[in-house]
């Protein structure tokens, strides 16, 4: 209470807590914050879907919306590594980059000792299709032998180091005989089959002479396919008869391979880039593009890593190799 100059008594009123709309304001701010957060979440989802669409469009069609912002002087680099047991990853990348107009040339960066014949033949065939649209260069790192050389032989040019290991044009089949091991373990194996040769190569018994001839004939047939495909890929660079002389499973240094006509040039990866740039008619700087590793989840990443570890363990043990390996 206080007195006014005119002598009137006045009461001061504390309006704190008296305004009924303050609680409403707090609720409005909370609702606004929730609404803003909802808009941010929706916006994030829309952006994620757009990015996913762009990436998928680029993967499926080879160009997509992402191509609008990419360099027109690209060279795609596709790794070919470890023992070849499957062709799908390399096939997919070859098809993708063959379609992509911004990619002017493809480099296969090879570091593999070989593997199964079927994946090598599938990749070889896809290289033929890719070469109809743009040049393909093989760059051999440490080793590019057997099935890996099978692949490289169909490229427009092969570049490797002087000490790279290559060649090894041959076929091998490993069929371990474990009959005595089973006997010592007291394990009896019963075989039920329909078809005279259905159990050919089974480890519980030795091969008969007839079965050995069948498998040797099979290996020789694969070997001849290997030789014919290399001769076609290296046409004009090595004569068929000369190729037959060295197609005995022998491996060579890069330097010796160049002398024999198995490779075109001695150099490193960037020499291969230079060759690809020239074949692709690229002027100025180039952009190297690599396949992106994609995993749908951490579980996929874990399973892929586990599969690779098991593959390496099996390869080192070399206990069984049921499929013919071109080596």
What value does the mean pLDDT take over residues 292-320?
58
What pLDDT, on a 0 to 100 scale, did the predictor assign at position 119?
96
**What pLDDT score was predicted for residue 3?**
52
- What's the Cα-to-Cα distance from 316 to each of 72, 114, 184, rounded to whole Å? 43, 14, 25
Q: Which of 193, 198, 235, 278 is catalytic?
A: 198
Residues 171 and 146: their CA atoms lie apart, in Å, by: 8
From 139, 146, 161, 164, active-site residue? 146
**Residue 71 CA: distances (Å) to CA of 66, 236, 274, 282, 283:** 10, 35, 17, 12, 12
What is the C-alpha separation between 228 and 249, in angstroms, rounded? 15
Per the annotation, the verdict on 96 as an active-site residue is no
pLDDT greater than 70 at residue 151: yes
Residue 198 bears catalytic tag? yes
**pLDDT grade for 312, boundaries at 50, 70 and 90:** low
- Residue 57 clears pLDDT 50, i.e. is over it: no
What are the residue ranges of helices labelled H in the chain? 22-61, 88-99, 117-131, 147-152, 179-185, 209-233, 240-246, 254-260, 269-279, 298-317
The domains located in the chain, with CATH, are 26-69 (no CATH), 70-292+318-326 (3.90.226.10)
Q: What is the pLDDT of residue 68?
A: 47
Separation CA 224–CA 170 (nearest Å): 9
Per-residue pLDDT, 189? 85
Element (H, E) at 157: strand 157-160
Q: What is the mean pLDDT of residues 202-228?
A: 94
For residue 201, the model assigns a pLDDT of 86
| Residue 325, SS3 per DSSP | strand
Span 221-225, mean pLDDT?
A: 97
- The yes-or-no verdict on residue 216 having pLDDT over 60 is yes
| pLDDT for the residue numbered 10 | 53
Residue 138 three-state SS = strand
The answer to which of 141-155, 221-235, 282-296 has the lowest mean pLDDT is 282-296
């Amino acid at each position: 209470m206080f007195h006014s100059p005119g002598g009137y008594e006045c009461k001061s009123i504390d309006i704190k807590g008296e305004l009924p709309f303050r609680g409403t304001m707090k609720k409005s701010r909370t609702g606004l914050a929730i609404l803003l957060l909802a808009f941010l979440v929706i916006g994030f989802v829309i952006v994620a879907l757009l990015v996913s669409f762009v990436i998928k469009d680029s993967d499926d069609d080879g160009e997509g919306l992402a191509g609008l912002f990419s360099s027109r002087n690209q060279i795609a680099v596709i790794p070919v590594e470890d023992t070849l047991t499957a062709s799908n990853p390399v096939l997919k990348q070859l098809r993708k980059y063959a379609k992509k107009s911004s990619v002017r040339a493809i480099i296969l960066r090879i570091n593999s000792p070989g593997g199964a014949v079927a994946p090598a033949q599938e990749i070889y065939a896809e290289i033929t299709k890719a070469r109809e649209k743009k040049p393909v260069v093989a760059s051999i790192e440490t080793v590019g032998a057997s099935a890996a050389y099978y692949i490289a032989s169909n490229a427009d040019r092969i570049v490797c180091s002087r000490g790279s290991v290559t060649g090894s044009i041959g076929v091998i089949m490993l069929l371990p005989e474990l009959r005595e091991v089973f006997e010592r373990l007291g394990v009896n194996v019963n075989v039920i089959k329909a078809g005279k040769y259905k159990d050919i190569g089974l480890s519980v018994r030795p091969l008969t002479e007839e079965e050995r001839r069948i498998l040797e004939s099979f290996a020789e047939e694969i070997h001849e396919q290997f030789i014919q495909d290399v001769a076609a890929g290296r046409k004009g660079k090595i004569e068929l008869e000369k190729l037959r002389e060295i197609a005995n499973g022998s491996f060579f240094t890069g330097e010796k391979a160049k002398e024999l006509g198995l490779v075109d040039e001695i150099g490193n990866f960037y020499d291969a880039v230079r060759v690809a740039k020239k074949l692709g008619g690229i002027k100025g700087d180039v952009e190297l593009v690599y396949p992106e590793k994609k995993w749908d989840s951490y579980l996929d990443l874990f399973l892929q890593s586990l599969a690779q570890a098991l593959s390496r363990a099996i390869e080192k043990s070399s206990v069984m190799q049921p499929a013919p390996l071109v080596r």
